[in-house]
Structure 1
């Protein structure tokens, strides 16, 4: 997530005639949910590897390298993160949000409940959680964006799968075209004021090392820039991924990934070379290039290529999950994926204590290579904790809270998770 960077219903609350609804109670339900949960766990790791870079340095995303870390190793770690992770994994999360929307429709239908009130309560709960998350822990929150875009998904939930997919492609193309037009408009007008950005980064670093009031004030000062980035960069791409997930859910694409082997291989053959090429352009522009027009061109390239790399990652994970090593991978990733919301918020909580004045205040003090190791260690701990917790509880702690808000009552122990 580049922040700072889940047969379709035909009426009413949903119908049980589509493939997604049929599979929810059919013999493939457990394997389908395992694959979806494992994909969520994989996306959670990718999001963490990106978000930690923004919490570890106030210069990340500014176009100016952190002056505290100028070694070749530091630059290489940043570059590889931007090529392979940044702006890719929140798209996979968004796809799964759209896909899970179809599961929630089927769940409401099984319960004989009206779906819109349920989903609106869910969006309201996500928005409140996201707002608290952004102010207290990490301004690059994505939950508020999901809550708002969820209303779009609700309004379009009767859309045909092919129409949803075509709309997603048009939205991505229009967004990329907008960046290219803006690049033409600003060409030759100057670029990033490196001295000013460096000073702002220094001030932000000092504020984040201060007491709790100083940290929260720093987050509040960052929010306008974050909202701008979310609205004009992440939101259109996330909305497109929502629609692709909705289309996949209506067609039951993840019900039997082994039946889509040739398609998954094509995603890999196309997604990896095109996505990595686009990531190289994106990373090059992010590595201190001060030409604003070039940065906008790189954003246009990324809008079109990042979804292909995200799709290639997903195809690879699905193929492994349904291969001889699938059970082992699922045992690691699926529990973390079932507790995605709890783990996402816990990541920010832990990292806030690591990098801000809430705790060790290591912002600007931990080299990029060590931030990667920190992220991997944190995720490993979360996989162990998630497995332990779910052996004793049906839902993660925050998932239980959000489900209670969604249902407007305490969930029953016998209810299926969606």
Structure 2
């Protein structure tokens, strides 16, 4: 098959601002969600947090469980589905046949899977890019030419499957001394082998099952141009932002209280609480997406500022955060993960995001695209 010519990157002025703002803000949530996963050498408690927390760390863990954990990746998934549909629309508007567009989307998914593999093996085996790549490959036809009922059915099925995955994950609470075994391994080669296993089981299999529904919902939203034209959907966005984030907070409270040591869950109750946390996390992801849509109605004249610059380079920024974490936290590098508390590693996460934000602004000023975005384009179009 002859590959479709690349019509070039979408000019910044022509990009929908809301998805870029959401991607920039999302990276802060992902930094917070990923950093504590690399803590090791201490007994685990609820959802990968250490079992014994100092007071400040208990407050931070509780806040992250209602606002970040299980909420950041659904937002990311919605934006992946939204972006795939934007790409498909642009190619279709340029005259490409549906089969050619589907093939292009599938190639892009394969490129993401390859990037995720390298990222997972070398830096962070909890990588999510591979899962989004595999989801894009498997759902390319549905995302590009599937009927509305097909997209919504996929979204509902994915939500149910992700909720069941979370129900089963409750069994891991209180077991082991690290979420990722490789983070406590000192030998780099042994850590590399463990990365491969963890990436396959956690980074791809488990996370693909958890996110494919949100990807389909993002594609459905993109067909209605909800984030492309947020001014037209202001009332809807306000309702989704308020309802989704309220559901996320309320649904995350039981796990938050358990992580803070204020109550203890039995196995059966723990499964239900984890399922509730995951289910309301999907609502939280939609709520965040809607919130950034509302923000975009006020920030259009500025191009989104630093958040927009970061969002336009979100893949590079995501990988850049992992470079910092991998250099500092695992035992096979500087081993700070054995000594930092939850609140300290969260401060590190925020600082890392701010550093990446500054680099994105500098790149924006000089008109430079992110290196990962350039690589993805090369792998997709040849």
Contact 1:164 1:244 in 2 (8 A): yes
Q: Counterparts in 2 of 1:312-391, with a 5 A limit?
A: 312-323=287-298, 327=301, 330-391=304-365
CA deviation after TM superposition for structure 1 residue 281, in Å: 2.5
In 2, the alpha carbon distance for the partners of 1:193 and 1:330 equals: 40
Q: State which of 189, 199, 204 in structure 2 corresponds to 1:213.
A: 189
Pair 1:49-2:32 in alignment? yes
Q: Deviations over 1:131-186 (max 9, x none)?
A: 12112211111111111111232121222335423441344246546877x79xx9
**Cα 1:175–1:362, aligned 2, differ >3 Å: closer, same or farther?**
closer
Task: State yes or no: 1:78 paired with 2:61.
Answer: yes
Q: Decide whether the 8 Å contact of 1:91 with 1:238 is kept in 2.
A: yes
Q: What whole-Å deviation, never above 9, does each CA across 1:66-89 have from its counterpart, x for those lacking one?
A: 36x631112221121112100111
- Specify whether residues 290 and 37 from structure 1 end up closer, same or farther in structure 2 by C-alpha distance, changes over 3 A only: same
Q: Could you report, residue by residue, the CA deviation over 1:322-345 in whole angstroms, capped at 9, with x for unpaired residues?
A: 12x665681021111111111111
Structure 1 residue 387 displacement after superposition: 1.8
Report whether the alignment pairs 1:256 with 2:229.
yes
Please give the alpha-carbon distance, in whole angstroms, between the structure 2 residues aligned to 1:93 and 1:62: 23
Q: CA RMSD in A?
A: 3.3
Over 3 Å counting, the alpha-carbon distance change for 1:224 and 1:146 in structure 2 is closer
What TM-score results when the alignment is normalised by the length of structure 1? Answer: 0.77
**Deviation at residue 382 of structure 1 after TM alignment:** 1.1
Residue matched to 2:137: 151
- What is the match of residue 160 of structure 1? 147
Distance 2:120 2:255 in 1: 25
Deviations 1:225-248 (A, max 9, x none): 525xx535x334411111111111
Q: Would you say the 8 A contact 1:41–1:336 is kept in 2?
A: yes
From 273, 281, 289, give the equivalent of 2:246: 273
Point out where structure 1 has 5 or more consecutive residues left out of the alignment: 1-12, 15-23, 409-418
Aligned 1:191-230 pairs, distance under 5 A = 194=174, 197-198=175-176, 200-201=177-178, 204=181, 207-208=184-185, 210-220=186-196, 222-223=198-199, 226=202
Assess if the C-alpha contact under 8 Å between 2:248 and 2:284 holds in 1: yes
CA pair 176-51 structure 1, distance change in 2 beyond 3 A: closer
Partner of 2:271: 296
Asked whether the 8 Å contact 1:130–1:141 carries over to 2, the reply is yes
- 1:363 alignment partner, SS class: helix
The answer on whether the counterparts of 1:39 and 1:317 sit within 8 Å (CA) in structure 2 is yes
Contact in 1 for aligned 2:111/2:376 (Cα 8 Å): yes
2:210 and 2:70 map into 1 onto residues whose CA distance is 10
Alpha-carbon distance change, 121 to 273 in structure 1, aligned in 2, over 3 angstroms = closer
| Partner residue of 2:74 out of 78, 91, 103 | 91
Cα contact 1:32–1:256 (8 A) shared by 2: no
* 8 Å contact kept, 1:215–1:357: no
> 2:7 maps to which residue?
none
Quick check: 263-272 or 215-224, which moved more?
A: 215-224
From 50, 57, 80, the counterpart of 1:66? 50
* 1:286–1:295 contact (8 Å) kept in structure 2: no
Give how far 1:393 is off.
4.0
Runs of at least 5 residues in structure 2 that lack an aligned partner in the other structure:
5-9
- Call closer, same or farther: CA 1:362–1:218 in 2, change over 3 Å: farther
Contact 1:160 1:247 in 2 (8 A): no
